[in-house]
Amino acid sequence: MKHKVILDTDPGIDDTMAIAYAIAHPQIELLALTTIFGNVSVEESTDNALRLMDFFEHDADVAKGETRPLVMAPNPHSYSVHGSNGLGEIELPPSNRKPVGLSGADYLIEKTRELPGEIDICAVGPLTNLARALERDPTIVDRVKSVIIMGGSIYRPGNISPVAEANIWNDPHAADAVFAADWPVVLAPLDVTTPVVLTASFFEDLRVENPKVGTLLADIAKFYTRFYRSHSGYNGCIPHDVMALTYLTAPGVYMQKRGSLAVATEGPAIGQTIFQPAGKRAADPMWAARPKHIALLEIDADYFIGDYFTTIAGRHPEYDK
Ligand code: BDR
Ligand code: CA
């Protein structure tokens, strides 16, 4: 049976790479995109989501999410990373599609009522929609199959501050509420995303294999790669958001550990994700009280790159089945 996925997303260049993977993968049924601010405003991410559904000729619902963080003032959007339109300056035609009449949070609540125990929520932006859904209907925790999150950094530095990763930093209060809830969370932090660098020649090969999708990905990756080159000295770009989906399709590529998660919500460490491995002694009783989740800590990068390529190229082994 296919994984029924709702992608909570702020497209976003690597978000688009994840959307392409979700649509192409034979084991995933992409039901909906719930949008969020982050890389761009929620108006822009929603517009991009609708345009992308046209481009991919895919009929997932699009539900517009929260406009701002739960508590703090919004951080600036990441136009320098994702381009002024969030898609690396590549213009897709405007869409005639409309978002559904529910907010992102309400969509999560309603869809998990309709399909209890069947939905994997993959959240690859700030976690405000998920936190609002928890606030409005705490019983949602019993209806989701899993909540897989791209965010945070456990044993590596951050990418937006010395200790914070961007998705968590953009709404630390929401992330902390999501980690404090007793639902099956899997975290794909920078520890497993930064070892994977996709080069320009990877995308050029993909363009040849799948001229339509490969060309979009190769074109949007150019802007993203320029950022990574000048900012981090990488010879390519990092497809962070895809890693949340690969946990569903290829869980064996990860080394994982059980433990509790919390987020610093003030001071110079604001947005830092803190992991306490299960069974390790901690003096503060708050750690024992927190639910146990899963953190992905290492990845088989070569396997991941091969899996992404064959999936987008339409040569995933399961296509033959
Ligand atoms: C995350 O932040 C955003 O820039 C990306 O889309 C990804 O979700 C990486 O830190
Ligand atoms: Ca994202």
What rounded mean pLDDT belongs to the chain?
96
What distance in Å separates the CA atoms of residue 83 and residue 51, rounded to the nearest whole number? 16
Give me 57's structure tokens: 């000729």
| Cα dihedral 63/21/207/125 (nearest 10) | 50
Ligand 1 atom closest to Cα of residue 241: 8
**pLDDT bracket for residue 321 (50, 70, 90):** very low
> What are the C-alpha distances in Å from 254 to residues 180, 201, 250, 307?
23, 25, 8, 13
Whose alpha carbon is nearest atom 4 of ligand 1? Answer: 39
Q: Does the pLDDT of residue 162 top 90, yes or no? A: yes
* pLDDT at residue 315 in the model: 81
Ligand nearest to the CA of 151: 1
Query: pTM for this one?
Result: 0.97
Ligand 1 atom closest to Cα of residue 13: 6
Q: What single-letter amino acid sits at 137?
A: D
Q: Does the pLDDT of residue 280 top 70, yes or no? A: yes
Q: How close is the Cα of 167 to the center of ligand 1, in Å?
A: 6
What distance in Å separates the CA atoms of residue 53 and residue 130, rounded to the nearest whole number? 22
What distance in Å separates the CA atoms of residue 53 and residue 98, rounded to the nearest whole number? 11
Q: Does the pLDDT of residue 318 top 90, yes or no? A: no
Q: Identify the CATH class of 3-320.
A: alpha beta
Ligand nearest to the CA of 13: 1
Q: How close is the Cα of 168 to the center of ligand 2, in Å?
A: 11
| Cα dihedral 100/102/106/107 (nearest 10) | -10
Catalytic site residues?
Answer: 10, 240
**pLDDT bracket for residue 153 (50, 70, 90):** very high
What distance in Å separates the CA atoms of residue 138 and residue 277, rounded to the nearest whole number? 25
Q: Does the pLDDT of residue 275 top 90, yes or no? A: yes
- Distant-in-sequence, close-in-space partners of 15: CB < 8 Å, separation ≥ 6: 7, 9, 39, 45, 124, 125, 241
> What are the C-alpha distances in Å from 22 to residues 114, 218, 309, 321?
21, 17, 13, 18
Q: What is the pLDDT of residues 196-242, one digit of tens each?
A: 999 999 999 999 999 999 999 999 999 999 999 998 889 999 999 99
Ligand 1 atom closest to Cα of residue 166: 10
- Distant-in-sequence, close-in-space partners of 313: CB < 8 Å, separation ≥ 6: 206, 209, 210, 214
Ligand 1 interacting residues, C-beta cut-off 6 A: 12, 14-15, 39, 78, 81, 124-125, 150, 159, 165-167, 240-241
Q: Any alpha helices (H) in the chain, and if so which ranges? A: 13-24, 42-56, 79-82, 104-114, 128-136, 166-169, 172-180, 190-193, 200-209, 211-232, 242-249, 286-289, 301-313
Ligand nearest to the CA of 159: 1
Ligand 1 atom closest to Cα of residue 11: 6
Give me 203's structure tokens: 């995308």
Q: How close is the Cα of 317 to the center of ligand 2, in Å?
A: 28
What distance in Å separates the CA atoms of residue 310 and residue 317, rounded to the nearest whole number? 8
SS3 assignment, position 156? coil
Whose alpha carbon is nearest atom 10 of ligand 1? Answer: 166
* pLDDT at residue 319 in the model: 58
Domain spans of the chain? 3-320
Give me 262's structure tokens: 């919390």
Q: How close is the Cα of 238 to the center of ligand 2, in Å?
A: 11
Nearest in space to 114 (alpha carbons), one of 149, 148, 140, 147? 140
